[in-house]
Structure 1
């Protein structure tokens, strides 16, 4: 049964109870290797004391999924603002927790105004592992977010539904390559060919490409040779609990 809509929004917006558990964030940088700058920080959920993500995500149920998704957005913006974060901020969202994009985004806009964080520096990224069976619906959500002024990103591109069908319906600002394509790419001709093709296609469509999950210098060098300049992974920096990463702390390529 869908929530009843009101003039202020849907019933879930109006009647949502507070979550019964607390959480916080670690931030992992997404780097621009050409300009040696931090392009963005991805907000990664953690327990209130820095506990691993599963300790939080295991408490998310169908009953509290909406409240959790809304709380995540506000908390990420609050912490990023408190840290004085100057880079973009990438926030994962749960497409299956959204009923009306134009209504469910309101609390995010309130949080951005309250904490003085510009909405044009917020990236909404489809959450890793969230199965979305209705690609048209996901495209509609992303389209509305982009219309409002947020940046949009498709995560795990090349895995599951996050592929060409979705890209045909909606062209986001950013595509994040699936980690399986990145792993060992320096030793895999098929992976290199696929990534080169995706990079060329995204260039034609005006979409930026991020390679995530980089763990070795050889992977980084190979991706750089393929024209990828935005990267993320342990090679550069692990997620930092309630901290951003300064450019001078990044393991830049020689």
Structure 2
């Protein structure tokens, strides 16, 4: 797994890290995911969780920051059964399960929404945080907001790219910010790469951000966050 930080634009602190799958020799996520089939999807999903928790238990400071992991809803057969392995890993590697955030991506079509709603009910009952990843890039974004009531929405990088000079993207982002405020959802801007993008999303009031501007993913390590000069908020 590689880790990429998610930063708080209000406090200047690290809010959490997303765990990103890599191959044993550092192969990209695309190379790894290309080998996932219906036959091995469940085991793959479980092994990714366990590895992410294992590394987080070793690498994360004791500061309450979050570990964000992707999960494939279509790989989860019974929420109670599959989550048992995750909780066992948290105990084994001394990682507080309340620090876990589960991201389900819009890039994977949801075969059974009722099944996903049951997964979320179980996860919420345990105390996990739920996020929609790549919002605006895939399947039925607004429907998912209505049906699943996520805690966090991660705005896809395609909407963030060049936002400072794109009036149509700005109009869409303004609407998303308004929806999030009404629904009590925390927003994360993904793929922030330039100072202009950072300043634009700050102006919209988006509190969290992730992207190469701050740090590239580091393989089995927590990368140092590099704030642009003068942009890091003063410590509270």
| Worse overlay, 119-128 or 210-219 | 119-128
Work out which of the two has the higher radius of gyration on C-alpha atoms and give 1 or 2: 1
> Is 1:163 the counterpart of 2:141 in the alignment?
yes
**Deviation for aligned residue 1:143:** 2.5
Partners of 1:128 and 1:164 in 2: CA distance: 11
Partners of 1:33 and 1:136 in 2: CA distance: 35
> Aligned-residue CA RMSD in angstroms?
1.6
1:208 is matched with 186
1:104-163 deviations in Å (ceiling 9; x for gaps): 111001001111111111000014632223333323322321111111101111233251
**Deviation for aligned residue 1:238:** 0.5
Unaligned runs of 5+ in 1: 1-24
Which of the numbers 99, 102, 107 marks the counterpart of 1:121?
99
Give SS of 1:49's match: coil
Q: Residues 62-73 of structure 1: matches in 2 within 5 Å?
A: 62-73=38-49
Q: TM-score, normalised by structure 1?
A: 0.85
Partners of 1:76 and 1:153 in 2: CA distance: 17
Partners of 1:30 and 1:184 in 2: CA distance: 20
**Deviation for aligned residue 1:46:** 0.7
Residues 151 and 128 from structure 1, CA distance in 2 versus in 1: closer, same or farther, beyond 3 angstroms?
same
The size of the alignment, in residue pairs, is 228
| Worse overlay, 41-50 or 131-140 | 131-140
> Is 1:44 the counterpart of 2:15 in the alignment?
no
Contact map agreement 1:133 1:161 (CA 8 A) in 2: no
Partners of 1:46 and 1:128 in 2: CA distance: 20
Q: TM-score, normalised by structure 2?
A: 0.91
Q: Residues 1-254 of structure 1: matches in 2 within 5 Å?
A: 25-85=1-61, 86=63, 87-127=65-105, 129-246=107-224, 249-252=225-228, 254=231
Contact map agreement 2:107 2:139 (CA 8 A) in 1: no
Q: Higher relative contact order by CA 8 Å / sep ≥ 6: 1 or 2?
A: 2
Runs of at least 4 residues off by over 4 Å: none
Unaligned runs of 5+ in 2: 232-236
Contact map agreement 1:156 1:162 (CA 8 A) in 2: no
Give SS of 1:46's match: coil
Partners of 1:217 and 1:62 in 2: CA distance: 41
Contact map agreement 2:69 2:102 (CA 8 A) in 1: yes
**Deviation for aligned residue 1:191:** 1.1
Partners of 2:219 and 2:181 in 1: CA distance: 34
